[in-house]
Amino acid sequence: MPGRIDTFRIPTRIQFGRGVALTLADPLRQVGAKKVLVVTDPGVVKAGLVGPLTEKLREAGIAYEIYDEVVPDPGVAEVQRAYERAKAVGADAFVAVGGGSSIDTAKMAAVLLSNGGTVLDYIGIDKVPKMAAPVIAIPTTAGTGAELTINSVIADPGQHKKLVIISPNATALFALEDPELTVGLPPFLTAITGMDTLVHAIESFTSKNSYRMTELLALEAIRDAAWALPRAVKDGKDIDAREAMMRAVVTASLAFSNTRLGNVHAMALPLGGWCHVAHGTAVAVLLPHVMDFNRSAAPDRYAAVAEALGATKDAKAAVEHVFRLNETIGIPMHLGPLGVDEGAIPNMAKDAMLSGNILVNPRTTTQPDIEALYKAAI
Ligand SMILES: [Fe+2]
């Protein structure tokens, strides 16, 4: 009988470095793209991030159209619209420029282009039969890691649900990780997207599924984010901090793609579905509460997290450090002022318990535990 077997997979080709976004024509040539749909949102266009990229496409003689109608928390209908546009213009590849919303929209539109149907046909694990059309993902935040992960999150507003699609066929083919594209990101967005990365690293490291290879990556992400996030929030032009945050996205994403996450993410999706709290804000506020709940089940793990954060090597110190970090970078202390009220707890707790992330959380968790954690965070 074989013992435990750990599988490490990362279908996306990663290119990392200052200015790498400007090489986007190379991967498009490699896949033989004839017509490209650039998927982005109006804010990213206004910030001047799309112009230099489309100029490179023109220089390379690659035909393109711009689709700049991505909305935050895209739903099934929005993905359908992006897909229809791709079909209408005859696109055979996508360039996604933006945060997790643009990248997930492009990933799922690319799934529809090669598989047909609607997003609802592919919910769950390994339900996408054919590889998505090529997506070159260029993140402008650091970040959700959407450019690297096999997960996409699409809203189903009718059911107050966030739908999760997990498939190696629903990924970006290339991720161009360019820290220079993040220097203009405002402080609060820097803070919440950066905290998402830190949560990915901490939840992966403490997950029941973690193993040596994912642990090394997660710890390195925690170390990078611990020093770089406050600096990137304080001074967006601090390119060394921006680069370290982008590196943290890569290492954290490689880790959590292979372990899954924990209670923070199980609880964050229903907060988005029922109360429209932005993902980064939700995970940042929840993190220290969940760590405090978990630390008795894995004190050595959380002591290692504390050390990587730069605190005393002690599980409680890790929790205190994260509370202070949130305060330093301007994350709200509680969810109540963001419009979350306790009446939503029963529905949210029920949905959270359905998440596979609950099963790999280091401490066994019941629905009353989740309810108490929501209450503490509100
Ligand atoms: Fe996340």
* Domain CATH code at residue 36: 3.40.50.1970
Does 5 fall in a domain?
Answer: no
Ligand 1 centre distance from Cα of residue 363 (Å): 19
Distance 264 CA to ligand 1 centre (A): 9
Domain boundary among 181, 196, 215: 181
Q: Are residues 162 and 209 in the same domain?
A: no
Residue 8 covered by a domain: no
Does residue 218 share a domain with residue 113?
no
Note whether 306 and 314 are within 8 A (CB).
Answer: yes
Contacts of 203 (CB under 8 A, 6+ apart): 256, 261, 262, 264, 265, 357
Question: Is the pLDDT reported for residue 288 higher than 80?
Answer: yes
For residue 2, tell me if it sits in a domain: no
> Whole-angstrom Cα distance, residue 97 to residue 328?
29
pLDDT digits (tens, 9 = 90+) for 64-98: 999 999 998 899 999 999 999 999 999 999 999 99
- Say if residue 128 is in the same domain as residue 204: no
CA of 302 to the centre of ligand 1 (A): 19
**pLDDT over threshold 80, residue 157:** no
With respect to residue 161, please indicate whether it lies within any of the assigned structural domains: yes
User: How far from the centroid of its chain's Cα atoms is residue 21's Cα?
Assistant: 19
- If asked whether residues 136 and 219 sit together in one domain, one would say no
Give the pLDDT mean for 228-240.
98
Q: Are residues 225 and 90 in the same domain?
A: no
Mean pLDDT of 102-113: 97
Would you say residue 330 lies in a domain? yes
On whether both 290 and 253 belong to a single domain, the answer is yes
Both 307 and 256 in one domain: the answer is yes
Given this model, what pLDDT does residue 127 score? 96
**Do both 250 and 296 map to the same domain?**
yes
- Residue 11 confidence (pLDDT): 87
Q: How many domains, in total, are found in the chain?
A: 2
Answer whether residue 158 shows pLDDT above 90: no
Residue 209 shares a structural domain with residue 60 = no
Ligand 1 centre distance from Cα of residue 57 (Å): 31
Q: Are 22 and 147 within one domain? A: yes
Q: Which of 155, 181, 207 is where one domain is finished?
A: 181
- Residue among 204, 136, 127 at smallest CA distance from 170: 127
Looking at residue 198, its pLDDT comes to: 98
Q: Is the pLDDT of residue 374 over 90?
A: yes
pLDDT confidence tier of residue 209, bands split at 50, 70 and 90: very high
366 has a pLDDT exceeding 90: yes
Could you tell me how far CA 26 lies from the centroid of its own chain? 25
Distance in Å, CA 165 to ligand 1 centroid: 14
Are both 137 and 84 inside the same structural domain? yes
Give 1's pLDDT tier (boundaries 50, 70, 90): confident
Work out the average pLDDT over 347-375.
96
Q: pLDDT tens, 345-359?
A: 999 999 999 999 999
Per-residue confidence band for 183, with pLDDT thresholds at 50, 70 and 90: very high
CATH of the domain at 244: 1.20.1090.10
For residue 7, being part of any structural domain is answered with: no
CA of 197 to the centre of ligand 1 (A): 7
Q: 128-141, pLDDT tens digit by residue?
A: 999 999 999 999 99
User: 242 C-alpha vs ligand 1 centroid, how far in Å?
Assistant: 19
**Averaged pLDDT score across all residues of the chain:** 96
Ligand 1 centroid, distance to 64 Cα (angstroms): 31
Q: Is residue 172 located within the same domain as residue 213?
A: no
Host domain of residue 144: 13-181
Of 181, 199, 220, which residue is a domain's last?
Answer: 181
Q: Binning pLDDT at 50, 70 and 90, where does residue 230 land?
A: very high
